[in-house]
Structures are given as structure tokens and as C-alpha cells.
Structure 1
């Protein structure tokens, strides 16, 4: 009986110590400061030469969704402890491999987002930088796959932005 209590204590004690720590780490890998409670995500305008009408809304909402799902932060309209703002600066579809018949054998869809993150609690954690992701597709016509590719790239971009802001990657 005593041995069972000791084993239970040894199992519970590390969990108890982890839950009593400073509270800046989470299972998602994020290291959000304990005093950061709110975040503001401003609308990301699309200033790319090739404009996809739904991309600004899709990116902005995807970033909010990632923050909701991977952090304890509350999203507020303005004056958050952290503020994301920026714009979509590039959206391009270009051939990356041309075959013998001078037709594209592989096409690349690329999206670049310029992001400014302001940490109002600790300016040393603020940053401003572009993020680019792309997908290569066999063949020259990607229009049938474009919406799916945009969604996949958007997921990767929001992951990159989230990790840069909260996982110090």
C-alpha cells in the first residue's frame, strides 16, 4: 500500500510542478509571456500585383483561428498586448520547369505576406519581416487546384507567423 502511494506521488509530483511554473510554455510550443492576455489582428490588405479577392479575408481569419486554437490569448479589436498588422505583398503563378514543347511542366504558386508584430509589453519581442510559402504543381494549369493550394499555403504562413511571434523561431 505504501509503495502504491509513493508511485502515485512520483507520478503526480512532476505534473504538479509543471502546472505551478511561470506559465509561459504550452504544449503547442508557444512561449507566450504570462502577462500577455490579449492580441489584436488587423486586416491584412492585399497589395500584390495579382489580387485574389478572398485572400486578405482568408489570411486574416486563418491567423485569428490559429491564435484561438494554439494559445490562451483573447482576440480584441484594438489595443491588444500584441498587435499583428501587415499586407499581402506578392501572389504569383510562374512556371518553374519548362518541357521540350516549351510548355510549363511545373508551375509554382507563391504567396508573400509582410508582417509587423508589436509586443506592447516587451518591445524586444516585436518584429517586422516578410514570410513566403509556395506550392509546386505538375503541369501549367493550376486553376482547378488554386483554392486548395491557397488554403494550404495560408496554413503554413500563419504557422510561420505564429511561431515567429510566440515560439521565437
Structure 2
């Protein structure tokens, strides 16, 4: 009897996972995802940012869902552009010199859910990373800042598109 109950619990759990990923995302009946290249249209351009963002976004969806990549006509479709890459001073010293700078990146995303159009949207996602003003935004400092920013932006896009967190 215990085996039957346990089997029913396992089967019902597996059935309920049919449209949900293990991260809580609702992909419905979608099977494919298409993510176009996000060109960098910001006034200040970081050369590898477009490729890195596009790859990070695709990797997140492939790793966190059962979706497969499609080069055209994906059930879930992402396009957009990088619209802002800005470095600004955020805090000063007694000598009116910047003590910290902030790198802010903004990415405009158009999401189309071809199976459930009401879930489609266009939205700008933005995040930042702070670094010491006496540091150059190169090498490890740039890599760490981009890691932090892109992880947050891609997760926000994931949450907004399939986890239904508005």
C-alpha cells in the first residue's frame, strides 16, 4: 500500500512538472527558444558586450528549462538592443574627487510568446556595479562588473518572461 501511495505521489509530481521548470518558470507548451543577437547601440560601446549578453541569456534559458534553441520561429522569441553603457561617479571625497564609479548597463528587450501572446512584452532592464574610482575599468575589474550586471539582468529577464514576476 505504501508503494502505491509513493508511486502516485511521484507520478503526480512528475506530471505537475510538465509545464514548469525546476526553477519555477512556466514555459507552458513551449519547446523552442530563439534569442537574436542584441546589438550594442549605446553611445559608449564595450566591444564584447553584445556577444557576451546574448550568450549568457541563451545559456540561462537552456540550463534552467527544457527548451531547445531555435534559429528561427522559436515558441519564445527574444530580440532587442543594448541601449546604455555608462560610467558615472557616485561618491566623492573631501577633495571633491570621485571615490567610486558606477557602471550601468541598460538593455531593451522585446519578448514574444508565440503560444500565449498576452505574456509578450517590451521592457528596458538595467543594473549596475560599483568600483573604486582609482581603478581602471579593464581586465578583472571589468569582468567582475559585467558578471554581476549580466547575471542580474538575465535573471530579471528570465523572471519577467517565464516566472511571471512582473
Q: Please, what TM-score do these two structures have when normalized by structure 2?
A: 0.92
1:19 maps onto 2:20 in alignment: no
One of 12, 32, 35 as aligned partner of 1:38 = 32
1:69-80 to structure 2, matched below 5 A, reads 69-80=63-74
How far did 1:151 drift? 2.0
CA contact (8 A) 2:21 2:66 kept: no
1:12-161 to structure 2, matched below 5 A, reads 12-21=7-16, 23-33=18-28, 35-144=29-138, 145-161=141-157
Task: For structure 1, list consecutive stretches of 5 or more residues without a partner in the other structure.
Answer: none
Across the two proteins, how many residue pairs are aligned to each other? Answer: 163
Partners of 1:72 and 1:44 in 2: CA distance: 23
CA contact (8 A) 2:84 2:107 kept: yes
For the pair shown, which has the larger CA radius of gyration, 1 or 2?
Answer: 1
Partners of 2:49 and 2:98 in 1: CA distance: 25
Residues 103-139 of structure 1 show CA distances to partners (whole Å, capped at 9, x for unaligned) of 1112111110000001111110101000001112233
CA contact (8 A) 1:44 1:57 kept: yes
Partners of 1:71 and 1:130 in 2: CA distance: 23
One of 144, 150, 161 as aligned partner of 1:165 = 161
Task: For structure 2, list consecutive stretches of 5 or more residues without a partner in the other structure.
Answer: none
Residues 30-72 of structure 1 show CA distances to partners (whole Å, capped at 9, x for unaligned) of 1110x21111100000001110000000000111101110011
